[in-house]
Chains A and B, each alone.
Chain A
Amino acid sequence: MSLLEIKNLHAVVDGKQILNGLNLTVERGQVAAIMGPNGSGKSTLSYVLAGRPGYEVTQGEILLNGENLLGLDPDVRAAKGVFLAFQYPMEVPGVATMTFLRTALNAQRKARGESELTTPEFLKRVREAAAQLGISQEMLRRGVNVGFSGGEKKRNEILQMAMLEPKLAILDETDSGLDIDALKIVSDGVNRLRAPDRGMIVITHYQRLLDYIVPDVVHVLWKGRVVKTGGKELAHELEAKGYAEFQGEAA
């Protein structure tokens, strides 16, 4: 059984059909890149996977470890191992990053019937993960993402991912707004989290990110469907030639 199987997925946002029969499989241990032009449905796919309200699935199914995710609330999906690193991480004034991480981690553990982490255990894990990402203790005490730069927000997303240890991580344009140094830090963070039992979907416009997070497979998304699948060299090809060859594809 694959980690993730998406079959014939159709989704509507604001009355507009965005996903049109999307098929996609992600295996455990695999990093799958999804590339595609603006409006091809990349972000919609990420939100549909995470269960964002307003993203209505009209047809098809999403199976995580063989279990249908559709109809489950976002928090239930998260406890089952779905993690979305947001393209635009939100600011949560008044909720310290530390509190946020602990609340999230313990809620997931509770939902899975696991015991909560003790305070020293939790602190040890946060400190280690934060240090690797260059996130200071002061930032952990601040409100989530409040006053953070674009790069700091993305690092904070990876910190959350490191703490929550998802089965399926979806990184939605994690490279957007990052300079080359920040891109390296974030990519190193992601690469450390590659694991035999974890699958990742890396959504990006640009091949650049894939020099740092080298994918096992590249899928091309066009008008809400996967129209081509290939190895990492496909990313270079797209970078050179663009998406012109798909112009004739029917929706």
Chain B
Amino acid sequence: MTATVRPIRAVKTAAEAALADTYAAAKALLPGLPAAREQAFRRFEAQGLPHRRVEAWKYTDLRALMRDAKPLAAPPGAEAKARAKQGGAIFASVEARRLVFVDGAFVPELSDLSAEAGLSIMPMAQALASGDALVARHVGQVLDIDDPAVALNTALMGDGIVIKVAAGATVARPVMIVFAHSGERPVSVFTRSLVVVEPKAKLTLVETHEGAADDQINAVMELIVGDDAEVDHLKIAANRKGALQVATLIVSIGARAKFNDFAGATGGSVTRNQIFARLAGENAVCHFSGANLLQGHQHVDTTLVVEHVRPGCESRELYKSVLDGESRGVFQGRITVQAEAQKTDARMATHALLLSENAEADAKPELEIFADDVQCGHGATAGALDEDLLFYLKARGIPPKEAEALMVTAFVGEVVERVAHEGLRDSLLAAADGWLQARSA
């Protein structure tokens, strides 16, 4: 006698039902990879939206947070494109190659597609539709990730950017991907990007996400950092109030490569930054860092999984949050050191500065070590501004608000200092300054 065991699933929520309808209606129109999409959607459907009983999503209960699913964005019209010219304002002073998306669709006329040796750029929708070899080989395959948000992205991915930097090439200016939003009506956007940096190549890559009120953004980037390559990646969530974003970075890092990742959030209502990183070659050096400045009811969840696979790699994880109002900052970080990854040197730290009685910081650092000759550590702190230090500053004539601002700037400054590009770093410091001034106004 055989029994059929079926996974028990709760009744679909309104958002899950709407996503199923969206997928059913759109799948014939979505570009490329129908089999992969179908498989991914089934995978998502089996799990549904993640909720608090799913450990990896414990602090960000999407099932409760997503009351509905917004319709897929329509291609942007002329008006929407005109408004997108304001996109990427935070880095306006940085000389960069801008690639602009509006409501998740690439807008070539707003983008800098000038030729550069060693650099290839193609919109993801076009690459998917044409069966591009690079995309066929890597999309969904950079790492094996079992995550419902990533599965949903694979099922519904529309556009995004595909970038390849040829072996040995150094891309002159930062490549800045501006995800602007029209705000014409609340929409769902599923962008998927693939960046392949071949051995010994160098790239600085920036993403800004500027979702409009109540937009739902699911952005996945898959990144391959080749052997001896050097990549700096910066991602800013500057969404409007009401916006919900899940941004995922999936990165594989080769031998002796240098990879620096920075994620910052000041906007949006709910932001989930997930990073899945695999240090796949020997002697790579990776820094993962982030700074969040939150107020009101904002919620930012940084969930990081770093896997050391081969010997001799170094990784540094440093995340800081400044939490005002009733905001909540979540950090979940896991470093896994596989048995073969001897001489691993990994240090993870997260610090939260609470500016109000009602703000909340949650930290869950984990180390999973299977090798016996490693140096690993983690630390987490949460606290208010040091009253004694504040008195010292005030005793020198610095008014309370300014003294607080100085200390907050110093607090996040330690992370921002890690950004190597001077213009980007200065822009981030200016953004932090703007946040503080708005706060004390």
Contacts and interface: CB of A to CB of B under 8 A. Distances in A.
A201 to B, nearest CB: 15
Contacts of A204: none
A12 B411 CA distance: 34
Contacts of A51: 394-395
Contacts of A73: 394, 400
Interface string B374-412: 000000000000011101111111111011001101110
A227 interface: no
A111 B394 CA distance: 13
Contacts of B392: 86, 89-90, 92
B148 interface: no
B397 A92 contact: no
Contacts of A202: none
Given A52-B391, A90-B392, A92-B392, A78 B410 contact: no
B414 interface: yes
A115 interface: no
Interface in A38-83: 50-53, 73-75, 77-79, 83
A174 interface: no
Interface residues of B, number: 22
A93 B414 CA distance: 9
Nearest to A84: B395
B407 A53 contact: no
B413 interface: yes
A94 B414 contact: yes
Interface size bucket, A side? 20 to 34
Contacts of A94: 407, 409-411, 413-414
Contacts of A24: none
A89 B398 CA distance: 16
B253 to A, nearest CB: 29
A164 B410 contact: no
B403 to A, nearest CB: 8
The secondary structure that dominates the B interface is helix
Nearest to A91: B389
Contact of B410 (A79, A93, A111): A93
A91 to B, nearest CB: 8
A108 B397 contact: yes
Given A95-B407, A143-B410, A53 B397 contact: no
Given A53-B387, A107-B399, A75 B410 contact: no
Nearest to B399: A75
A189 to B, nearest CB: 17
Interface centre among B391, B397, B411 (most CB of A within 10 A): B397
Nearest to A143: B410
A100 B414 contact: no
Interface in B404-431: 406-407, 409-411, 413-414
B395 to A, nearest CB: 5
Interface of B: 387-389, 391-400, 402-403, 406-407, 409-411, 413-414
Given A99-B406, A143-B410, 7 more contacts: A52-B395, A53-B387, A74-B394, A75-B400, A83-B395, A92-B393, A92-B407
